Amino acid sequence: MSESPCLFCSVVRGEISATIVAETPECIAFRDINPQAPVHVLIIPREHIGSLNDATDAMTIGRLSLLAVEIARKEGIAESGYRTVINTNAAAGQTVFHVHLHLLGGRTLHWPPG
């Protein structure tokens, strides 16, 4: 689905600018345009997957979490703490339908998230 009008596929193709913080053969991580914490990074597979409901490959999904740990270490929040979140569909507030993992940290995060 590389020809889809998906916003995050456009980031993958370099058609829209993003502040990229990590790249691997399978994933890209970039800063959220509307950060909700001092560190707010989105980690996505290069492959278009609409939501977690559409995911079938454990490696693809697992890589998102492991890349989040790497970035958390680089950003200096691994020890203080951070949160990883995948919003799925309307009730969770998913707005971009290319699966992405939010990495949030650098401040105290409250629970439940609301």
Question: Catalytic amino acids?
Answer: 100
Binding mask 27-56 for ligand AMP (x = CB under 6 A): ---x-xxx-------x--------------
State which residue, 52 or 78, has the beta carbon closest to Zn ion.
52
State which residue, 30 or 82, has the beta carbon closest to ligand AMP.
30
In DSSP notation, 18-66 reads --EEEE-SSEEEEE-SS-SSSEEEEEEESS---SGGG---HHHHHHHHH
Taking Cα atoms as reference points, which of 80, 62, 56, 71 lies closest to residue 103? 71
Chain residues in the site for ligand AMP (CB under 6 A): 7, 16, 18, 30, 32-34, 42, 87, 93-96
